[in-house]
Amino acid sequence: MSLLSIKNFSVHIDDKEILHDLNIDVQPDTLTVLMGKNGTGKSTLAYALMGHPSYQVREGEAIFEGASIAGVSPDKIAKMGMFLGFQHPIEVPGVTVIKFLQTATRALSGGELDYDAFQEELLSILEKLGIDQSFLYRYLNDGFSGGEKKRLEILQLLMLKPKLAILDEPDSGLDVDAMKVVAEGINMARKKGTTILLITHYKRLLNYLNPDRVVVLANGTLARDGGMELADKIESEGYDFLASRIS
Ligand SMILES: Nc1ncnc2c1ncn2[C@@H]1O[C@H](COP(=O)(O)OP(=O)(O)O)[C@@H](O)[C@H]1O
Ligand SMILES: [Mg+2]
């Protein structure tokens, strides 16, 4: 059974159709890469799946682990095991990283938090990702560099251990060293059993990963479905080849 099944998905923002008749199945324990030009609807898909109220699913539905998530609120979708790593994480002055991680972990586990186990896991992940402990006592994304914001998304991914993680351009704006940290985090998450839907429009990050499948969106719908050869083609030719033929 697919972990996530996106069926005939059409999504509107206000009265504008952004996604049209989109069909994608994501199999458990895989890494699926979603590519596409800027403005083609990748982030829209991520937000619509997570139940963002501004993104209206007008037709079709998404099925997560066999259950429809139509009309389900973001907090409940998160509790079902879906996670979104934001393309543009928001700043929350006043809430420290550690407080946020504790609160989210507690919420997802139904109110319980084993502080010792939490602390031990957190410190081991920080070490593996090369993040200084002082990071934990800063306010969420407040004054963070682009690289620090993306590291925090990866830290959340590893602490929250979702069944499915949608990672929206975790590589945007990163230098090579920061990108390696992000790639290592994604590989660690896979070992913990997280299935990944990775949104990117560059091949760079994929060189450190081992994607099972690459799908390409154009004009709000699926334009190509294949493997790494699609990422190679996009890197060498850009997205223009999509206009030639729909397969
Ligand atoms: N909150 C929003 N309000 C109005 N238009 C939006 C909003 N979010 C996205 N759009 C529009 O939807 C289209 C797809 O955007 P997006 O999903 O961000 O694309 P991508 O992530 O592939 O770059 C764009 O034309 C964008 O301007
Ligand atoms: Mg986007």
CATH assignment of the domain containing 24: 3.40.50.300
Asked if the structure places residue 166 within a domain, the reply is: yes
Query: How many domains are there within the chain?
Result: 1
Residue-range definition of the domain harbouring residue 194: 4-89+161-243
Q: Is the confidence at residue 187, as pLDDT, over 60?
A: yes
Asked if the structure places residue 123 within a domain, the reply is: no
Q: Residues 6 or more apart from 109 whose CB is under 8 A from it? A: none
Three-state secondary structure call for residue 242: helix
Our answer on whether the CB atom of 54 is closer than 6 Å to any ligand 1 atom is yes
Asked if the structure places residue 103 within a domain, the reply is: no
Asked if the structure places residue 49 within a domain, the reply is: yes
Strands 4-13 and 16-26: antiparallel
pLDDT band at 155 (very low <50, low <70, confident <90, very high): very high
Q: Ligand 1: which atom is nearest the Cα of residue 169?
A: 21
Angle at 243 between CA 12 and CA 30, to 5 degrees: 65
Distances (CA, A) of 177 to 130, 138, 167, 209: 11, 22, 19, 15
Q: At what angle do helices 146-160 and 176-191 cross, to 10 degrees?
A: 10
Backbone angles phi, psi at 4, to 5 degrees: -130, 130
Asked if the structure places residue 213 within a domain, the reply is: yes
Classify the C-alpha dihedral 230-232-235-240 as positive or negative.
negative
Average pLDDT over residues 3-21: 97
- Ligand at minimal distance from the CA of 54 is 1
Q: Is the confidence at residue 158, as pLDDT, over 90?
A: yes
Our answer on whether the CB atom of 13 is closer than 6 Å to any ligand 1 atom is yes
Q: Is the confidence at residue 167, as pLDDT, over 60?
A: yes
Is pTM beyond 0.85? Reply is yes
Q: Is the confidence at residue 247, as pLDDT, over 60?
A: no
Q: Ligand 1: which atom is nearest the Cα of residue 41?
A: 17
Asked if the structure places residue 65 within a domain, the reply is: yes
Our answer on whether the CB atom of 88 is closer than 6 Å to any ligand 1 atom is no
The tens digit of pLDDT for each residue in 98-148 reads 999 999 999 998 888 999 999 999 999 999 999 999 999 999 999 999 999
Backbone angles phi, psi at 72, to 5 degrees: -80, 140
